[in-house]
Structures are given as structure tokens and as C-alpha cells.
Amino acid sequence: MRSPTALLSLLLSFPLVSNANEATVPNLEYSIVNRLSIPGQCVTQGLAIYKASIFISCGGYGKSRLVRLSLHDGSIISQLNLPEHIYAEGVDIISEHAYVLTWRAEQALIVEIDSMSIVNYVNYDGEGWGLTRRDERFLMTNGTSTISEITPTDFTATAQYSVTTNSYIPIRNLNDLTLIGNYVAANILNERKIAIFNHSSPDTLVQAAFIDLQPIHQFYSDKPAGRPLNGITYDEMTNLTWISGKNWGDIYALAIDYSVLKYTQ
């Protein structure tokens, strides 16, 4: 565990700004309350809270792995190297099993948490990007402007939601995502922000707010690709939102002011 004090003092010197498309939705304020290190190289693709731990899905062919860290001190509880032919993506947990999406292998890996071993696979069509649990189903992204609700047993889609700006322009490249009360928060590929959506109709999610993470991202923009933001999960027990980025080597716990959303848990 590393103290966020120095980072926070730097962050406060950078104003949070919005672009023209987000001029009418609130930019939520936040503070850093914790930072943990990810052991080894990790192209972070997904995060998931489980009890007092966090699962991190690291991508890359021949480099994909699933890591479980203690939220108390950042120590490694367990980790699993994944098959070399898959590129791991989003992750979340149902019934003591972690489900890990793959980018283009068209299958999810089902990992038993206690033994940290792959016990099954489930097939799906197309690419897998982000995954989060909603009750006993998952919400899944595939890089388009659609979020699918799927069953964990066979990944059958039971509903699909179009995702748009507040002016109803489709938002493509939706990546990792999480539920915050009745809102959906998502990374957007190569964007330095988190977008937050709410239902405007049964099959449409419209942007209600955003969180500008450029002040954090600037510390990881030393490479041409910019080590993009990716990975988000919400901890209902602490009301903290954990975020990360590809090859950051760190995950951050943010206390975000969601009061303007009037969300419900």
C-alpha cells in the first residue's frame, strides 16, 4: 500500500474540465483514498470486488493472468496464469466463480475462486470487452455502443441496451464497466474519463455524468500509446470506486461524490 498524499496534492493543482459534448452533464468530484500496486506487468482489462479482495484481469497473448489482491494491504492472495492462446478481458464473480472474458476467442473462462483453477468454459459470439454483475446476470460490452445482459450459464443475451450521450448520439468503444446503484459506469477506449449512464427508456442508457481522470492518467502518459485508462469496479461496502489502466502497475480507490445522481443501492 502506498500513500496517495503526494499524488493528491498534485491532482488538486489540475482543474477538471469537460468537453463540449458533456457540457450539460455533471463532472463528478473525487479524491484518492488508496493506491495498491499490481505485481508484475499487467495490461489491466477488468476489475472485480470479492469480499475484502479485488480481482484483476491482465490481458495479452501469452501474458494473460488473473490476480487476487487483499484490499487491506495489497498482498497477493492468489493468481492464475491463463492459457497462452487467449487474451483476457473483463472479469466479475457469481456463485464463488470468477468469469473472465476473452477478446477474440469467443469464450469465457470460469475460475473456481477457492482453488484458483479453470473449471469450465462458456462460448459466446463476437468479442468480449467488459463484464459486470447485475443480480444473477452479467452486463457485457463488446466494443460497440451496446451493452448486453447475459445469463452466466450459457451467455445468452436476455436484453440489449443502446448507450448514448445525453443528446442521443451513440457512444462506441464501451470497455470495462460496473454498477453504481442503479447507474452504469463505463470506460471508453482511449478516453481519459469514466462515463456514467442511466436508463432513459427500457432499452436505452443515456449519459448522466462523467468523471475526469486526466489528472491521474497524466502520471502514466509517458509512452506513445499513453497507457490508456481501463478497469473499474464499485465496492458497495465502502462506497469506493476502484480504477486502473493498461500497464499502470497501480489501482486506485476513489471516493466519488455521487450525490448529484441521487442513486439508489
* 1-14 per-position pLDDT tens digit: 545 545 544 443 33
Residue 206 CA to residue 98 CA, distance in Å, equals: 29
> Is the pLDDT confidence value at 22 over 90?
no
74 membership: H or E segment, kind and range:
none
The pLDDT score that the predictor gives to residue 263 is: 52
Q: Where are the domains of the chain?
A: 5-257
Q: Residue 15 has what pLDDT? A: 36
pLDDT tens across 102-159, in order?
999 999 999 999 999 999 999 999 999 999 999 999 999 999 999 999 999 999 999 9
The overall pTM is greater than 0.85: yes
Please tell me the predicted confidence (pLDDT) of residue 260.
86
58-90 pLDDT, tens digit each: 999 999 999 999 999 999 999 999 999 999 999
- The topology under which CATH files domain 5-257 is Neuraminidase (2.120.10)
Q: Which residue has the higher pLDDT, 168 or 221?
A: 168
**Confidence at residue 87, expressed as pLDDT on a 0 to 100 scale:** 98
Under the phi-then-psi rule, with left for phi > 0, alpha for psi from -120 to 50, and beta for the rest, what region is 218? alpha
Task: Give me the helices (H) in the chain, please.
Answer: 5-11, 214-217
E strand residue ranges, the chain: 30-37, 43-50, 53-59, 65-70, 76-81, 88-94, 97-102, 107-112, 117-123, 131-134, 137-141, 146-150, 157-164, 174-180, 183-188, 193-201, 204-212, 229-235, 240-245, 250-256
Confidence band, pLDDT 50/70/90 cuts, at residue 222: confident
